Amino acid sequence: QKEVEQDPGPLSVPEGAIVSLNCTYSNSAFQYFMWYRQYSRKGPELLMYTYSSGNKEDGRFTAQVDKSSKYISLFIRDSQPSDSATYLCAMRSNTGNQFYFGTGTSLTVIP
């Protein structure tokens, strides 16, 4: 079983839609959770960072962490064509220095 599972998509939505991206994980020791956005042939850009459980909102983006279910989500409201990219979830524990990544979900927002 992989440490982090993420549906690769592709996901295609109309402009203005609400997008839900998800990852599940198996290691209950994970405490730090991140979402990255990666445009083609660019390095990933940190979008959201959450410690432990709970919600975090930043503009049109909301990150949720449910540690009891080992499940994290990223919601994008009022999606824009510029949101078209691959979204990667990442996480790590308090111990060790390795980050674990999902495979990424490819999102296309259609104008």
Partner 1 sequence: GAVVSQHPSWVICKSGTSVKIECRSLDFQATTMFWYRQFPKQSLMLMATSNEGSKATYEQGVEKDKFLINHASLTLSTLTVTSAHPEDSSFYICSAETGLTNEKLFFGSGTQLSVL
List interacting residues with partner 1 (CB under 8 A): 31-32, 34, 36, 41-46, 49, 51, 88, 90, 92, 94, 97-99, 101-104, 106
Nearer to partner 1 (CB atom), residue 106 or residue 108: 106
Q: How many CA within 13 A on the CB side of residue 16? A: 1
Is 29 exposed, middle or buried, given 0-12, 13-18 or 19+ CB atoms closer than 10 A?
exposed
In the block, residue with structure tokens 């999102």: 107
Tell me whether residue 50 or residue 79 sits nearer to partner 1 (CB atom): 50
Closest distance to partner 1 from the beta carbon of 20 (Å): 20
Closest CA to 89 of 61, 58, 63, 108: 63
Considering the complex, state which of residue 22 and residue 31 has its C-beta at the smaller distance from partner 1.
31
Residue 31 Cβ, how far from partner 1 at the closest point, in Å?
Answer: 8
Q: Which is nearer to partner 1, 36 or 75 (CB)?
A: 36
C-alpha 68 chain-centroid distance:
18
Give the residue among 4, 9, 15, 10 at the shortest CA–CA distance from 76: 15
Beta carbon of residue 16, minimum distance to partner 1 (angstroms, whole number):
27
